[in-house]
Amino acid sequence: MGESGTRGILSPGAIPEVFRVDRLEPSADLADLVAVHWRVAWDLPAGQVHESLVLSFPAVNVSFEPDGAWVTGPVSGTYHRRLTGRVAVPAVRFRPAAFRSLVDRSLASLRDRVVPAGELLPLDRAVLEGIRAAPDLATAHPLVEDWLRGLPRTRTAEQAELDAAVDLVERDRTLTRVDQLADRCGRSVRWLQRAFADAVGLPVKQVIRMARLREVAERALTGDVDWAAVAADLGYTDQAHLVRDFTAAVGTPPARYARTVR
């Protein structure tokens, strides 16, 4: 999910009125681990389907669903989910490199995968049931945080550095190349690529690409768009490059997407 509002969610105007996303910030002692607590709920009539598509943020999510708790690894492109029926799912999104402090494996091994949380983290059945039974995010939030506080962690300065690097990419649209980010971080390109693969689970280039695509989708909501100017602003070689990149990820060119969302 996006940091706020509907950022990252494609075609937000098509979201059914019965669809709701709530978010809460983590407690101060977990702010280095958790990016945001969130809860999504929908109540669709029988036979109605909503296809949800998200330009993902570089992070691991743990969701507490009717069929169990699941770890969704870092997604290298768009995340698709078919919504039906009546469901409410509390979840937690971790800081980009922070989940690495909880597991003894490279996060590249979780890329584009969804695995049972119990395979990676200790999770008592009673804790899981309590979180899933919470009627709202305000109730689930402290239960999730109590569980997280009890997990063994191995936090390193390198992971904090990588979290800061991803934050920089999200804030600064002039960062469009891996070598630029390496310079800003005071690291070599090779170090950055190795560290991202291990602790973020995605190539640096892909993290930069997805940040740009989220920005393209966001600008499409603003009305008439000068796509050549957007391409130049976001560091694409030309408008055709932007069009190819966005179409490959979303399935439709940005100008057509803009007309659809308006």
Domain architecture of the chain: domains with CATH: 12-149 (no CATH), 157-261 (1.10.10.60)
- The average confidence (pLDDT) of the chain is 89
Q: Region 167-180: what's the mean pLDDT?
A: 92
Contact indicator for 200, 96 with CB cutoff of 8 Å:
yes
Nearest to 108 by CA among 2, 8, 210, 195: 195
Distance CA 123, CA 221 (A): 41
* pLDDT value for 223: 74
Residue bearing the bigger pLDDT, 80 or 130: 130
Contacts for 40 with CB less than 8 Å, ≥ 6 apart: 1, 19, 20, 21, 22, 88, 89, 91
Determine which of 31-35, 86-90, 116-120, 176-180 has the lowest per-residue pLDDT on average: 86-90
* pTM for this entry: 0.88
Confidence of residue 104 (pLDDT cuts 50, 70, 90): very high
Contacts for 151 with CB less than 8 Å, ≥ 6 apart: 102, 121, 122
| Confidence check: pLDDT of 4 > 60 | no
Place of tokens 């098509």: 14
Angle at 199 between CA 78 and CA 202, to 5 degrees: 30
Neighbours of 125 (CB within 10 A): 8
* pLDDT value for 105: 95
